[in-house]
Structure 1
Amino acid sequence: MNQQEINFDDLFHIENKISNQEHFERNKERFSNQCRIVYEALLRGERLTTTKALIDYKIGDLRRRIKDLKDIWNVPIRWEYKKGKYKEFYLIINTDKS
């Protein structure tokens, strides 16, 4: 994957409950920053799990940030199940310079 330019200030989402939408609006800046952190880690070739994201980056809901990246910015994030039945998220990175 070649790096795409993403403006993380454009995070937009509609929740299914008013209280959830209010929570989203109050925390939109933090969620946008978490999306940026996850995206940059994936671009570096890191393979992220919910545990790694929590310990290394203080991101408590990696699955939600992955969903935001996929749904809002069309980032082609892939995943695979690992032993112990957890998901590891990653990007296919295009290193071809031609």
Structure 2
Amino acid sequence: MELRAFFAWIVSGGGAGILAYLLIDGIEWLASLSPKPKRVAAFAISALIAMGIYTLAAFAGYQELPVSGMAWVESLFLVGSTAFGLSQLIHVRDLI
């Protein structure tokens, strides 16, 4: 897999949610959380991973740079909310 494809998978293919879930399972104090706080942690971690990788991909030239501050906000919101939704699909098994 090329770096460009890896970044795309993290940002829009569910990779951020999977990485967040693996991170949560690998850190003892996060793994010991009850399902609802763990869900909130998954929200935040997956959104931060996706937005960070999106920013890295943009500055690496794999994405077009947003042209204004508002374009950055909109792009990061879209990336973060997509990662948030996908992380919940992955995490829902702990809530059932």
Bigger strand fraction: 1
Kindly indicate which of the two structures has a greater share of residues assigned to helix.
2
Is this a same-fold pair by TM over 0.5? no
Higher-RCO chain (CA-CA 8 Å, sequence separation at least 6): 2
Q: TM-score, normalised by structure 1?
A: 0.31
